[in-house]
Structure 1
Amino acid sequence: MADERIDTVVWGTGNVGRAAIRAVAAHPALRLTAVITSSAAKVGRDAGALADVGRDLGVALTDDRDATLAAGPGALVYAASGDLRPDDAVADIARALAAGAVVVTPSVYALYDHRSAPAAVRDPIVAATEEGGSALFVSGIDPGWGNDVLPLLMTGLGSVVEQVRAQEIFDYSTYDQPDAVRHLVGMGQPMDEVPPMVAPTVPSMVWGGQVRLIARGMGVELDEVREEVERRALDETVTNVMGTFAAGTQGALRFEVQGIVDGEVRIVIEHVTRIHPSAAPDWPRPPAGADGAHRVVVEGRPRIEVTVEATDEGGNRAAGGNATAVGRLVNAIPWLRAAPAGLYDALEVPLLPATGRF
């Protein structure tokens, strides 16, 4: 009998890429055929060793993008960062789509809700799906399901809903991503410098799509999307895996992207992040003993609160969050292969069970 698994490529070998390799290797309907890296030092290394799968996978990392796409994979997990190179990320994804691969990725924030994406981002992607007869699904790594399908599911358990709030609460002490933590989030930077992540309009650009998805799922019209940002300085110098963070520099960041309905704050995506547990002690915290969690709170009758903790790579919660976000994306690949060409969002792609995994 012919092997009917979908040939799948992972593009990227960082925190998200490692999780993607594990997810593809574990999926009974997928076959990992290539892993693309931008690091010359990783070329030739076995993907299983890189991703701590527990065995060699017989797939050597490559930096030859042209040959990988020319081989005609059925699917591609785009795990390369788009934070500092959004135009390049869109170009890479469009290239894979035009080659006929369905693509799943967390890397292009504007496409969380593709209906509201700027034409400059959306149009080349639509053209690429038409050229390749392919499909794209973008969902967040923070994780997307925690800001769209989980809140919507929880609202369906209540009678009266006054507000729905999705929170990511995280302590960056063990998260070894200094470029993102220092230069995007602003930890350890002067308080008179506004971090790029919360510069005016940026939170709405990144998370506004998820607010709009919740509104659409609940059948309500938004008056507007607002932002609120609060920052706290460190009272004392702290040190962690990323180095030293000086007293007086930013040690905690909290922001909300709010969906306003009939003049009231009804939908909220909230992030609460710290560089050390001592920072901003009065802000929401994860459960005791945890360094991070994702929480949904539905205010109403009844009041519903759900906290999700995931761990991976030796108990690391950041890795666990990455893994669940990647799992949502990778598990969607077979559905996307069967779907008509086009762009899909979290309300259109079903949340599928892990069939055949035991």
Structure 2
Amino acid sequence: MAQKTYRVIQWCTGVVGKAALQHFIENPIYDLVGVLVTNPEKVGKDAGEIVGLPPTTGVLATNDVEKIIALEADCVHFAPIVTDVDLICRLLRSGKNVASVAGPFSRQHYPEQFAKIDAACQEGQTSYHACGIHPGFSGDILPLTLTRLMNRVDHIQVTEFIDKIRNPMVYTEMMGFGRDPDELLAKPSRSPEAPFAFAESMAMVAEGLGKTIEKVTTKLEVAKATQDIPYSLGVGLPDTGVVREGTVAGQHYEWTAWADGAPLITYHFYWTMGEHVEPKWDLDSRYQVVIDGDPALEVRLMARPDANGVRPFLGLPWTGLVGATAMAAICDAKPGVVTHIDLGVVQPHGLVRR
């Protein structure tokens, strides 16, 4: 039986975008037709070269937005660092379904943005889906799936652990590592709106359990560097900065959704700059779901150890793949905003190949 294929565009090629781009090149159900890049050094390169594959795709990267929008395509995997709702709406109106790893995620907290997206979907007869690893998988699909194994649920806790020395990324400086602890606690580098990006995930889990979230509370604690800590912004890059002794070298954000007057869902984020911090937190980078209830359970989602026995943090590549593997289902969905509930159990074709 001939497989249905989908013409796809990859928008941006950072760590997240490259994971999706490689998937589209190698998966036979996708026909890559365009690649949008923001780095001038990538312009004109074959898509294969960008992800370390043979430069034989015939698709050359461009930074020309108008050229990309004019392409005939079924879908766009949209992966900039910061979202652009107006661009998303232009893509939707042009007849292209969009999976956005940068959101927006929550209709409740961004009603004006979703009103624009709704209108664009109807005009283009297209679908929009916000996706990622967290929010988008570890904090919603995974815990809600695990509740099928429960007789009673008391409290769901989802935790993201990242050692940013072993797993360097551009967000290190953006997140305020190296700042004075008291200053960071008074004015966190992470936006006060950050919990809203995860509110839709919490709401989906609560709704799946027949509950409604009453409020979301937040908490922040920091760890201090016990010595100067040099750091890089990328794997294989030279050290580009130093977190000084006594400054912020670890951050623990805690966001809790309440229902029936008690905590129902808590998201923890532990980000540390290696082992020379106090207090010491877990350095084994992973996602973890703990459900208190009957029976209590715990699931850890992590990469297999590399040759050195270290587990790399795959949150960014997974963010790209969870959208890429759902792209066909998004294309086949009815026009409008498509949630995880709407998609149901995604069946990612084209993964088994020799």
Q: Shared fold (TM-score greater than 0.5)?
A: yes
Q: Does 1:264 align with 2:262?
A: yes
Gaps of 5+ in 2: 234-240
Match of residue 188, structure 1, among 178, 184, 188: 178
Gaps of 5+ in 1: 287-291
- Sort the Cα spacing of 1:15 and 1:143 in 2 relative to 1 into closer, same or farther, 3 A: farther
Q: Give 1:174 deviation, angstroms.
A: 3.5
Once structures 1 and 2 are overlaid, which stretch shifts more, 228-237 or 94-103? Answer: 228-237
Q: Which amino acid aligns with 1:23?
A: H
Instruction: Describe the SS at the equivalent of 1:9.
Output: strand
- Aligned mates of 1:36, 1:312 — CA distance in 2: 33
Q: Which residue of 1 aligns with 2:237?
A: none
Q: Which residue of 2 aligns with 1:289?
A: none
Q: Give 1:343 deviation, angstroms.
A: 0.3
- Alignment of structure 1 residues 123-134 onto 2, 5 Å: 123-134=115-126
- Aligned mates of 1:209, 1:143 — CA distance in 2: 8
Match of residue 296, structure 2, among 303, 311, 315: 303
Q: Which residue of 2 aligns with 1:172?
A: 164
1:20-72, Cα deviation, whole Å (9 max, x unpaired): 10121233321111110112211011211211235642221111111121122
- Sort the Cα spacing of 1:153 and 1:336 in 2 relative to 1 into closer, same or farther, 3 A: same
- Aligned mates of 1:21, 1:57 — CA distance in 2: 11
Q: Which residue of 1 aligns with 2:287?
A: 294
- Sort the Cα spacing of 1:61 and 1:267 in 2 relative to 1 into closer, same or farther, 3 A: same
- Aligned mates of 1:341, 1:251 — CA distance in 2: 45
Instruction: Describe the SS at the equivalent of 2:137.
Output: helix
- Aligned mates of 2:15, 2:169 — CA distance in 1: 9
- Alignment of structure 1 residues 95-134 onto 2, 5 Å: 95-108=90-103, 111-114=104-107, 116-134=108-126
Q: Which residue of 1 aligns with 2:87?
A: 92
1:9–1:34 Cα contact (<8 Å) kept: yes
1:96–1:103 Cα contact (<8 Å) kept: yes
Q: Which amino acid aligns with 1:189?
A: R
- Aligned mates of 2:334, 2:321 — CA distance in 1: 22
Q: Which amino acid aligns with 1:37?
A: V
Instruction: Describe the SS at the equivalent of 2:149.
Output: coil
Runs of 4+ in structure 1 deviating by more than 4 angstroms, as ranges, are: 1-4, 311-316
- Alignment of structure 1 residues 10-159 onto 2, 5 Å: 10-53=10-53, 56-82=56-82, 86=83, 89-108=84-103, 111-114=104-107, 116-142=108-134, 144-159=136-151
Instruction: Describe the SS at the equivalent of 1:144.
Output: coil
- Sort the Cα spacing of 1:204 and 1:310 in 2 relative to 1 into closer, same or farther, 3 A: same
- Aligned mates of 2:48, 2:269 — CA distance in 1: 33
Q: Which residue of 2 aligns with 1:250?
A: 248
2:288–2:300 Cα contact (<8 Å) kept: yes
- Aligned mates of 2:304, 2:156 — CA distance in 1: 25
- Aligned mates of 2:129, 2:16 — CA distance in 1: 16
Instruction: Describe the SS at the equivalent of 1:63.
Output: coil
- Aligned mates of 2:305, 2:67 — CA distance in 1: 32
Percent identity between matched residues is: 23
Match of residue 235, structure 1, among 226, 231, 235: 226
- Aligned mates of 2:189, 2:114 — CA distance in 1: 23
Q: Give 1:313 deviation, angstroms.
A: 10
1:218-276, Cα deviation, whole Å (9 max, x unpaired): 11122211111111221211112243111121100001111111211111111111011
Q: Which residue of 2 aligns with 1:325?
A: 319
- Sort the Cα spacing of 1:234 and 1:301 in 2 relative to 1 into closer, same or farther, 3 A: same
Q: Give 1:156 deviation, angstroms.
A: 1.4
- Number of equivalences: 340
- Aligned mates of 1:285, 1:348 — CA distance in 2: 36
TM-score, normalised to structure 1, is: 0.88
Match of residue 342, structure 1, among 336, 341, 347: 336
Q: Which amino acid aligns with 2:340?
A: A
Match of residue 226, structure 1, among 200, 217, 222: 217
- Aligned mates of 2:14, 2:311 — CA distance in 1: 15
Q: Give 1:311 deviation, angstroms.
A: 6.3
Q: Give 1:131 deviation, angstroms.
A: 1.0
2:156–2:264 Cα contact (<8 Å) kept: yes
- Aligned mates of 1:334, 1:81 — CA distance in 2: 23
Q: Give 1:158 deviation, angstroms.
A: 1.3
1:104-129, Cα deviation, whole Å (9 max, x unpaired): 01112xx3233x14222111111111
- Aligned mates of 1:74, 1:169 — CA distance in 2: 36
2:155–2:263 Cα contact (<8 Å) kept: yes
Q: Give 1:4 deviation, angstroms.
A: 4.7
- Sort the Cα spacing of 1:161 and 1:3 in 2 relative to 1 into closer, same or farther, 3 A: closer
Q: Please report the RMSD computed on the Cα atoms of aligned residues, expressed in angstroms.
A: 2.3
Once structures 1 and 2 are overlaid, which stretch shifts more, 185-194 or 338-347? Answer: 185-194
Once structures 1 and 2 are overlaid, which stretch shifts more, 73-82 or 116-125? Answer: 116-125
Match of residue 273, structure 2, among 252, 255, 275: 275
Q: Give 1:177 deviation, angstroms.
A: 2.9
- Aligned mates of 2:305, 2:111 — CA distance in 1: 38
- Sort the Cα spacing of 1:175 and 1:283 in 2 relative to 1 into closer, same or farther, 3 A: closer
1:130-188, Cα deviation, whole Å (9 max, x unpaired): 1111001102343620010100111110112111111111101144433x2112x2111
